[in-house]
Amino acid sequence: MELFDVYPLYDITPVKGKGAYVFDKEGRKYLDLYGGHAVISIGHSHPAYVNAISKQVGELGFYSNSVKNPLQQELADKLEKLSGVKNYSLFLCNSGAEANENALKVASFHTGKDRVVYFEKAFHGRTSGVVAVTDNENIQAPFNQNHNATKLKFEDAEALEKELEKGDVAAVILEVIQGVGGLDEASTEFHQKTSELCKKYRSVLIADEVQSGYGRTGDFFAFQKHNIRPDIISIAKGMGNGFPIGGVLIDKAIQAKSGMLGTTFGGNHLACVAGISVLKVIEKENLLINASDLFEYVKEQAAEIPQIKKIKGRGLMIGLEFDFEIAQLRKELLYKHQIFTGAAANKKLLRILPSLNIKKEHFDELFKALKIVLK
Ligand SMILES: Cc1ncc(COP(=O)(O)O)c(C=O)c1O
């Protein structure tokens, strides 16, 4: 049977990973500065993670959500402690799109409303509801276009109030730092205004922290810098270091009702152990501090390269904006220097999303390669 052909593929077959590196079947070593779309948070095959998952699969890999699973509570408690956010409840699922899908559903149940406001260049996933609030018509089927969704200009508080005052908006969904869109971040003033307007007009504010959360920016959640309290926070990517797991943190003011949400696989034993192990490593290795410190180092190094016009993002969610389109540069980094990097909707932006325990010397490899390629 052939595979359904939806992914443009690099002609590379990684078979092994260790720390910041992956190795292909010929034994070639690649520096992974992209983490498979921001997923690898604690490095490939971290020994504590490998041990925890191996032990759990030997005991009990899965049972359904119809029985007690104390690992879910352990994960929720650890997440609360490390993130510092209080008075939320956790619902576990399997991916970023699913997290946002559940967030929208909860918002609609809670408010009794059905319209969702989102912003230009947003990416919230590919499933039915969330692709309707993603700013990319190419990935929306006619079925997805029937949702009640309104796109607004980025950072336009006046337009936002005009929509919210109509009274039918269940949720405003935003990425605090846009990932796929190209690392744009609205001001603290806009975040606070949005939060205030959502309260005023009884709409739910959803912070999509699928990519920017879990320590990636140096804060546990990117919204924390702006001093706001979203009603719902969606999480996924870095949460399981590659094990599929996602979740939504839901303000305790929003009442759960039996059957309101549900999933077969979400929050299973293996996924929880992967999630707990990631949080333990983030704590033990002080990875939030590492993310902040390394951003300063990257800024210094990038300043030495005249073709880099702007450094976007925070922590280890980094965009290097060049004065030319970077498709060829990325290819050369990958095939000549064995370095994985990422692209964005902004074609001049090189996206760097490495594991959170990466070191200065790994960035030295990148900047050395960049200097050669750009000579
Ligand atoms: C901000 C954001 N939200 C949601 C998603 C969707 O996550 P997933 O691919 O796990 O469904 C992504 C994926 O890139 C994302 O970057």
The CA 182 to ligand 1 mean position distance, Å, reads 14
Which two three-digit tokens encode residue 48? 């504590």
CA distances from 278 to 39, 53, 204, 220, 266 (A): 11, 11, 29, 13, 17
- pLDDT value of residue 301: 97
Q: Is 208 in the pocket of ligand 1 (CB under 6 A)?
A: yes
Give me the residue spans of the domains in the chain.
14-45+287-373, 48-284
- Fold for 14-45+287-373, please state it: Aspartate Aminotransferase, domain 1 (3.90.1150)
- pLDDT value of residue 104: 98
Radius of gyration of the chain (CA): 20
The CA 236 to ligand 1 mean position distance, Å, reads 8
In angstroms, how far is CA 323 from the centroid of its own chain? Answer: 27
Q: Same CATH fold, 48-284 and 14-45+287-373?
A: no
Residue of the nearest CA to atom 4 in ligand 1? 124
Residues β-bridged to residue 247: 92, 235
Q: Return the ligand 1 atom nearest residue 180 CA.
A: 16
- pLDDT value of residue 102: 98
- What share of the chain in percent tops pLDDT 70? 100
Residues sharing a CB contact under 8 Å with residue 57, sequence separation 6 or more, in sequence order: 270
pLDDT in tens, 213-248: 999 999 999 999 999 999 999 999 999 999 999 999
Q: Is 180 in the pocket of ligand 1 (CB under 6 A)?
A: yes
The CA 344 to ligand 1 mean position distance, Å, reads 13
Identity of residue 28: R
**In terms of residues, how long is the chain?**
375
- What share of the chain in percent tops pLDDT 90? 99
CA distances from 362 to 22, 32, 127, 262 (A): 13, 9, 35, 41
pLDDT in tens, 119-153: 999 999 999 999 999 999 999 999 999 999 999 99
Residues β-bridged to residue 340: 32
SS3 sequence of the chain = CCCCCCCCCCCCCEEEEEECEEEECCCCEEEECCHHHHCCCCCECCHHHHHHHHHHHHHCCCCCCCCCCHHHHHHHHHHHHHHCCCCEEEEEECCHHHHHHHHHHHHHHHHCCCEEEEECCCCCCCCHHHHHCCCCHHHCCHHHHHCCEEEECCCCHHHHHHHHCCCCEEEEEECCECCCCCCCECCHHHHHHHHHHHHHCCCEEEEECCCCCCCCCCCCCHHHHHCCCCCEEEECHHHHCCCCCEEEEEECCCCCCCCCCCCCCCCCHHHHHHHHHHHHHHHHCCHHHHHHHHHHHHHHHHCCCCCEEEEEEECCEEEEEECCCCHHHHHHHHHCCCEECECCCCCCEEEECCCCCCCHHHHHHHHHHHHHHCC
The listed CATH number (3.90.79.10, 3.40.50.970, 1.10.10.60, 3.40.640.10) that belongs to domain 48-284: 3.40.640.10
The CA 97 to ligand 1 mean position distance, Å, reads 6
- pLDDT value of residue 311: 97
Q: Return the ligand 1 atom nearest residue 125 CA.
A: 6
The CA 58 to ligand 1 mean position distance, Å, reads 31
The strand pair at 115-119 and 149-152 is best described as: parallel
- pLDDT value of residue 169: 98
> What's the pTM value of the predicted model, to 2 decimals?
0.98
- 103 within 8 A of 74, measured Cβ to Cβ: no
Confidence of residue 197 (pLDDT cuts 50, 70, 90): very high
Q: Is 236 in the pocket of ligand 1 (CB under 6 A)?
A: yes
- 235 within 8 A of 121, measured Cβ to Cβ: no
Residue of the nearest CA to atom 9 in ligand 1? 96
